[in-house]
Structure 1
Amino acid sequence: MPCALCGDIIPAEVNRCPACGAWARRRDFRAVGVAVFMLLGFDAFVALGSGISLLQMAHPLRQATHGTYDAEATGQAIAPYTDVFTVYALLAVVTGMLYLFWFWRAYGQSPGPHRHHRAWTVFGWFMPIVNLWLPPRLVYEVWVNSGRYRTAERQAAGVVVAGWWCCTLLGLLLSQAFAHGSTDSLADARFDVHLGVAAAGCLALAAALCMANVFQITRLQTGREIMPQR
């Protein structure tokens, strides 16, 4: 198996790379981080493509008038984008499952002490109300604890995490509003298209910011000796 750090071939019976000395556990963790990073990139690409396509629909709607507007045709043109957001949600579920596995490892490997039990890295995402504020707090804690950061760098990490979480929540709300939108009138159709563009933009930005925290945490934790799992 090739080493994720230097590319040298590591025999299956050894735990360290003979060329750079990387531990197998570090190598495996980096491989999971790369997989999460790539999936998030694909999610961002799908969301961005949907937003650009919807944005192209906004132009003819701006030129339409109440006399030329066809509600049925517009509804048929917009309906497939609801399916696109459904497919995106399924992709996000797959990505989220791998992200939770990666985050479980990252939380256990980050220096402590931790404010919350490790189990919250999983349950914190599914418990109502708690999942609105705890996940980004845990991600920020793991990020800043994984490296030696000055105050300004900690604040920058906090901005990235906060931006990621706000865009995620806003994107989910806007996509739901888009799915339940109406095209009965020209004004409704314009508003619905704008909702879809905003939802796609928020989801694409959320995926990109999540890529940043996955990349940084993985880089920091694979750049040093990984502590034993707790």
Structure 2
Amino acid sequence: MPCGLCGDIIPLEVVRCPACGAWSRRRDFRALGIGLFMLLGFNAFLAMGSSVSLLRLASELDGTSSLSYDPGSVSTTLAGYRDVFVVSLCLAVVTGVLFLAWLWQAHGQTLDKVRGHRLWTVGAWFVPLANLWLPPRLVLEVWLASGRYPLPRRHGVSVVVMAWWSNLLAAVGLAQLFPSMHAATLADARFAVQIGTAGAATLGLAATLAMAVVFHVTLLQLRVPPARPAQG
């Protein structure tokens, strides 16, 4: 591929341009994909850990009677989990920014042409209503355009992308609902823990499925040289 700095041809097996020493863009993309993959893994680890911990709390509440229930203690415990959700949200924002940078670059170097302008890889996430269905469609098209799949495998890719998006939307909704839950009664506390467990579990699943998306698209694009110039 041509060097973005001097225009000399960079062999795929080298990291820097032989003429000027500039880093290869494909190597930059590989580093971006690895960094995003690891950050998504940390998101999944944190979310799944919270889910397991909340399941233990739910088990303790199941063995508690209304007479022995202490709302103050449970409220304090749930407040700690709310803080964990805030941390997870901040981490998700950082991960999302990195994901958009990765998707932007992946869109510009697919094997086949992707429908829609490259700007939609960022803009689709911020357009009301359209951001409910455009992002997974773009991710799916970038994945499919990065390799040539037979029809059965295309359906499998679609299932993975839709499962990722469904879990992500569910996680966002449950994470917003959980902070408003209270623990005045035992029934309220059990319901709050169930909401928190579901929110953490869906967030963990979404992060895990996103890891699969990033891994496969990055691997496909590193194996196959781009057949067209990057879209502006």
TM-score, normalised via structure 2 length = 0.89
CA RMSD of aligned residues (A): 1.9
Distance in structure 2 (CA, Å) of the matches to 1:15 and 1:198: 52
The superposition leaves residues 158-199 of structure 1 with CA deviations (integer Å, 9 ceiling, x where unpaired) of 000000000000011111111111101100100100111111
> Which residue of the partner structure matches residue 53 of structure 2?
53
Distance in structure 2 (CA, Å) of the matches to 1:14 and 1:222: 22
CA contact (8 A) 2:107 2:118 kept: yes
The superposition leaves residues 179-228 of structure 1 with CA deviations (integer Å, 9 ceiling, x where unpaired) of 11110110010010011111110000000000001000000000011342
Q: What letter matches 2:197 in structure 1?
A: V
> Which residue of the partner structure matches residue 71 of structure 2?
71
CA contact (8 A) 1:15 1:24 kept: no
Q: Does 1:138 align with 2:131?
A: no
Distance in structure 2 (CA, Å) of the matches to 1:103 and 1:25: 14
Distance in structure 1 (CA, Å) of the matches to 2:184 and 2:48: 27
Q: What letter matches 2:138 in structure 1?
A: L
Structure 1 stretches of 4+ with a deviation exceeding 4 A read: 10-16
Structure 1 stretch displaced more, 220-229 or 188-197: 220-229
Secondary structure of the residue aligned to 1:97 is: helix
The superposition leaves residues 78-123 of structure 1 with CA deviations (integer Å, 9 ceiling, x where unpaired) of 1110010110010011111111111000011114433211111001
Distance in structure 2 (CA, Å) of the matches to 1:96 and 1:39: 10
Q: Does 1:229 align with 2:202?
A: no
> Which residue of the partner structure matches residue 85 of structure 2?
85
Secondary structure of the residue aligned to 2:230 is: coil
* 1:28 to 1:172, Cα distance in 2 relative to 1, 3 A: same
* Runs of 5+ unmatched residues, structure 1: 17-22
Quote the sequence identity (%): 48
* Runs of 5+ unmatched residues, structure 2: 1-11
Q: How many equivalent pairs are there?
A: 219
CA contact (8 A) 2:37 2:215 kept: yes
